[in-house]
Amino acid sequence: MVRLRNEDVSERQHFTENKLLDTSRECFAEEPDRIMDAGDRFMKYFLRNASPEGVLFKTIKEITSEMNIPHQTLSKVLKRLEEEEIIYRRNGIIGLWRK
């Protein structure tokens, strides 16, 4: 019974990740290919590195270095995700909006 409960939670988290990736891809649909690709890569990076609460405790410099992405490109990606209220940035953290 406990195992089933854990599997259910895992499936819900997986569905949420897929939904989040789909939503972010939609918001980059009108952007140039390099921004769309960077947005997709960032969301996958975010999902891998964020805390279970959906918060990423990394500086922009760390993210650009680890992702090998220009600062300007990452800034455009983050700005677009903020406009769509997918993420928020406060005091050096990046978090997911809970809807």
Q: Tell me: the pLDDT tens digits for 18-59? A: 888 999 999 999 999 999 999 999 999 999 999 988 899 999
Distance from chain centroid for Cα 90: 15
Mean pLDDT of 60-84: 95
Does residue 4 register a pLDDT over 60?
A: no
Whole-prediction pTM value? Answer: 0.80
Tell me the pLDDT tens digit for each residue of 73-94. Answer: 999 999 999 999 999 999 889 9
- Measured distance between the N- and C-terminal CA atoms of the chain, rounded to whole angstroms: 29
Sheet holding 87-90, edge to edge: 55-56, 93-96, 87-90
- For the chain, list the domains and their CATH numbers: 2-96 (1.10.10.10)
pLDDT at 13 over 90: no
Element (H, E) at 88: strand 87-90
